[in-house]
């Protein structure tokens, strides 16, 4: 092969690689950005859901009379909103929140301990300081209450 042909082939390969890189690199970057943004949106939604559940649970604990119905509805809405952002393997979070809500609604003597437990557990789970597999055991350790797994079909 003569040097002229080798130069043309080399330039063609270099041009093709450059063109491919200029097309693929932005696509990879956009894909990465979309995943990062989706993760950030989910984290924000979980933050808001957890905050709303904690506030609604605590508020209901100290209400009585007709205000109780309104705050029960707010708590139910907060639980549903949180549920919508949980993955299939994260329903232990919902189970703890529902158990706590049930204790609060029934004015159980265990309600304050359950509220304190979810105030400890939920933010730590969301921030990655606690694994999903640890939340039930931690709740039971803090409250003495065992929470069974929800049966979703």
- With respect to residue 27, please indicate whether it lies within any of the assigned structural domains: no
Answer for the pair 85, 97: CB distance below 8 angstroms, yes or no: no
Residue 126 domain-assigned? yes
Domain region containing 99: 41-143
CB 146 within 8 A of CB 140: yes
> What is d(CA 60, CA 46) in angstroms, rounded to the nearest whole number?
21
Number of domains within the chain:
1
**Model confidence at 119, in pLDDT bands (50, 70, 90)?**
very high
Q: Is there a domain that residue 31 lies in?
A: no
Which tens digit of pLDDT belongs to each residue from 5-23? 777 777 778 777 777 777 7
Asked if the model's pLDDT at residue 97 lies above 50, the reply is: yes
Q: Is the pTM of this model over 0.85?
A: no
């Amino acid at each position: 092969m003569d040097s002229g042909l080798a130069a043309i082939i080399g330039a063609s390969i270099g041009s093709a690689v450059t063109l491919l890189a200029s097309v693929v690199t932005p696509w990879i970057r956009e894909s990465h950005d979309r995943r990062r943004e989706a993760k950030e949106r989910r984290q924000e939604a979980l933050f808001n859901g957890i905050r709303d559940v904690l506030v609604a649970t605590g508020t209901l604990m100290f209400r009585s009379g007709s205000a109780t119905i309104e705050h029960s509805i707010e708590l139910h809405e907060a639980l549903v909103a949180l549920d919508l952002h949980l993955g299939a393997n994260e329903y232990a979070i919902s189970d703890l929140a529902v158990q706590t809500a049930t204790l609060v609604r029934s004015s159980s003597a265990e309600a304050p301990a359950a509220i304190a437990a979810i105030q400890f557990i939920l933010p730590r789970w969301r921030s990655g300081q606690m694994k999903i597999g640890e939340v039930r055991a931690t709740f039971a350790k803090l409250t003495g209450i065992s929470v069974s797994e929800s049966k979703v079909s």
